[in-house]
Structure 1
Amino acid sequence: MLFTPYGSAQLTFTSHNTSNVRVEVCVCPSSLMGRKRGRSSREQHATKRRRRPQQSPAPTDLDYISRDDYVVIEDFLYVRPYVFEFRMNFRPRWRNQTIYNVFCQEFKHTDEDYWKKEVRDGRVLADGRPINDSALWNDGMEVVHVVHRHESAVLSAPIYIARDEDDFVVVSKPPSLPIHPCGTYRRNSLQFVLKAFYNTGKLLAVHRLDKETSGLVIFAKTPERAAQFSTEIKEHKVQKTYLAEVEGLFPARLSECNESVFWDKREMKASVRQEGMEAKTSFKLLKVNRTRHSSIVECKPLTGRTHQIRVHLAHLGFPIVNDPLYGSQIRLQKTNLVSRGPSPLSISLTHPKLAEKSTASELRQSYLACEWARNSFKQRGQHLSCMEEGQMLSCFNCPQVTNVKNVAVQQMFIHLHALRYESDNWKFEVPPPLWMEQKRDSATTGIGNVTSSLSNCILS
């Protein structure tokens, strides 16, 4: 039983073992929160300054995620569609504007007719209640948009666990998988997949790695350890080593690039510009394949700009293989990472692996993290199937498993791999990428050495 001056609520949900758990929050009337008799004004002021004890955060789908929320078909990992609530909090610039107009202005990926229908059908709620198209924003207001969420597919490559300690874990990320929820990815992110398939618990990301890039990722298990890693990275105390396969015969004499990098938020792309941020990357040629007309290059970014290695190599005239964003002309149709399986867009909820009976009963953990789904369950006394959820929410993605913005297979990976991170206190290394192990023809010349020994993955 918790007392709070902010309001009251009651939450009921069903855990994995189907036992009922009830959490009650009871309001302490505001009339009882005022001044007590016999207390001086100084004592009252000191009481107001006291920090209220922090309450445990509400459970989310990360707390209940399991491998049953996923299905592997051919070379792809799919997330079963689920009910999700996008939440927005009031911002001063929206004062005196209608919620409907703000949604039309802020989310231009859909048209006004779409938002008109969502509002009319009661899927946009303010402070828990459906709105009309004339409802205005108010200070402190929270608006929820209930959707049937379909995520983009990712490659079903395994995740290598390099180190798993009490306060951190080091893994080798496959390409196509973002580190944390973003855009059309939530459960198909590294944080969720690790918890669902490898039972790592809730992890804290301490650095970035593009979803198309493979290789080393460090997660902390505690806020204290996350702060330590983040501080070292921000203070440039961590040396990072990457491997890249680039187009062309990279010259051995070319050792670094010091061009400033500018990030265009609208285009979501970096470029070399004088008005950009200072950036420096060192390079070392390792191998050349004259038949394929490509090279393997060791890259060490001395600064941490977004897409720094990719844009520096492209600026030098040697774009990374399969990276069309920065000018690559080599497009890989098939590698040992991706087969010629069905397109992710061709899979529907009628696929045998997705149409199993269990999807309508045992696999509905998403109900635990969504108020709309909990209320739906209370009203009907049973869980809905994915298709039934979609029908109730007028989902325009159903019956496809993925969403309309799904990523094409060729855009899921580039030949860039994070190999090694090290500081004065620790050193982590993961195996080289699969494309490094592909057999080279006689025209391949070795110029350096790339170690794959796991003994180098040590903590000082």
Structure 2
Amino acid sequence: MNKENNKGIKKPRDENNIHYKNALIKKKQQIEEKRKKKEQEQLIKGISQEEINETTYYFENGLRRVLPYFYTFKVNAKGRWIGRTIVDVFVNEFKLCNEETTIKKIEKGLIKINNKIIEPSTIIHHHDEIEHQVHRHEPPVYCDKLTIVKETNDFIAIDKPSSIPVHPCGRYRHNTVIFILAHEGYTNLRPVHRLDRMTSGILLLAKTIQAAREFQSYMTIKKKEYLCRLRGRLEKTTVTSKIGRKRIDDKKIHVSVNEIEEDGKECHSEFNPLFYDEKTNTTVAVALLGSGRTHQIRVHLQSIHHPIVNDPIYAAQFDESKCDDEGIFETQYGGTIQWKIEEGCIECEHLKGDPIQYGIYLHAWRYVIDDEIFETKLPYWAQPNVDISQEINEFNKNHILI
């Protein structure tokens, strides 16, 4: 075949090619730098009274719910959107958008580009800012109080319940730690470390920008101890491996999962069993982290075939067609409608179901930061005389275990 006939034929990617590997490393570094920049921007901005007044909470059946409210999303055009119509992007990139509804929203001025009224045929260009006003619905979370474990002039440490994200992400905004505490008068808190939505336990927040920056620059978390309940009988063990990040990206879901991979970052976990429960064939263990990679404990336990018992991502098959970004299945909406149904709002017309699961058996139990110890009470599932067999059976019934 001559060169002319070769035009337009894409060569298969050689994943062992050194240039490809270097490009991949550079891409990951850029993503990490972008994440850090975003975190720094969040450090500067507190929560205004105007934001607090957007909505109110109400409580039902042990859950905290948010009254739907109007909110304008703003996003810069992504590379893959350039040259496409606004309708094409909305219909093919966003979960809840169809062509008819998108066109109606454009006609009502609820979707704009660069703060200007547009047509359905408008093409997206580089540097465009897209605005989308929505009637925003948030998922419920546990209504457990955010217990203050310790408070100083610079920091506040809380015992975060599972189900609550730390800061706004995805569908969550007011049902996050930052906003819940803002409603209680703490309007300028800034988290100084991470804790997953489905994980409970110690969360440290700085009261000022200066305290947050000092923590990141000078303070050291000397010891991180987590409690976990895992499948099978586990003896004392140590896991050292490299963990990398894999992203699932399509219209239905946008989620990152971690896995053992050669090009990942090396990390170290130590697991010390506290007791074994024969009835459920589970072990409660203390996990000590020598590093802090995302999902590190969950990935390491999966790698030694002792996953956290009710982990929907690392202990079961992940079905992106039925799950949210944490692998959680949804059931029917279980609350009462305490707001006026908004005409044209897809979620008002077709209420999304509530999660069937609000946490996993993973708890940030004790942190030693410099010379100060932060510790919570034991979660119920980590206590030897508590029967959790019904919870485990319910999880197993709804998932295909791996």
Quickly name the TM-score band, shorter chain normalised.
Answer: 0.7 to 0.9
CA distance in 1, matches of 2:103, 2:191: 37
Code of the residue aligned with 1:279 in structure 2: it is C
1:397 to 347, 370, 391: 347
Give unmatched runs, 5+ long, in structure 2: 1-43, 249-254, 318-330, 388-402
In structure 2, the partner of 1:38 is: none
2:61 is the alignment partner of 1:74 = yes
1:121–1:58 CA distance, 2 compared to 1 (3 A): farther
In structure 2, the partner of 1:128 is: 115
Post-superposition shift, 1:408?
2.0
1:280–1:59 CA distance, 2 compared to 1 (3 A): closer
In structure 2, the partner of 1:24 is: none
In structure 2, the partner of 1:202 is: 188
1:414 to 353, 357, 360: 360
In structure 1, the partner of 2:205 is: 219
1:282 to 246, 263, 270: 270
Code of the residue aligned with 1:429 in structure 2: it is E
CA distance in 1, matches of 2:187, 2:170: 23
CA contact (8 A) 1:261 1:272 kept: yes
**TM-score between the two structures when normalised by the length of structure 2:** 0.73
Q: Which has the larger radius of gyration?
A: 1
Larger relative contact order, structure 1 or 2 (CA cutoff 8 Å, min sep 6): 1
1:168–1:428 CA distance, 2 compared to 1 (3 A): same
CA distance in 1, matches of 2:191, 2:256: 21
2:310 is the alignment partner of 1:313 = no
1:347–1:244 CA distance, 2 compared to 1 (3 A): same
**Share of identical aligned residues, percent?**
31
Q: Deviations over 1:195-249 (max 9, x none)?
A: 21x322221121111111100001111111111223357xx75421100111211
1:232–1:313 CA distance, 2 compared to 1 (3 A): farther
CA distance in 1, matches of 2:245, 2:140: 27
2:223 to 220, 224, 239: 239
CA distance in 1, matches of 2:99, 2:180: 35
2:271 is the alignment partner of 1:271 = no
1:262 to 230, 244, 250: 244
The number of aligned residues is 326
In structure 2, the partner of 1:189 is: 176
**TM-score between the two structures when normalised by the length of structure 1:** 0.64
What pairs with 1:271-350 in structure 2 (closer than 5 Å)? 271-327=259-315, 345-349=333-337
In structure 1, the partner of 2:30 is: none
CA contact (8 A) 1:257 1:312 kept: yes
2:66 is the alignment partner of 1:116 = no
CA contact (8 A) 1:244 1:416 kept: yes
In structure 1, the partner of 2:235 is: 251
Post-superposition shift, 1:139?
6.2
In structure 2, the partner of 1:83 is: 70
1:437–1:194 CA distance, 2 compared to 1 (3 A): farther
Code of the residue aligned with 1:398 in structure 2: it is C
CA contact (8 A) 1:247 1:328 kept: no
CA distance in 2, matches of 1:289, 1:59: 45
CA distance in 1, matches of 2:107, 2:197: 37
Q: Deviations over 1:304-323 (max 9, x none)?
A: 21111011111111111211
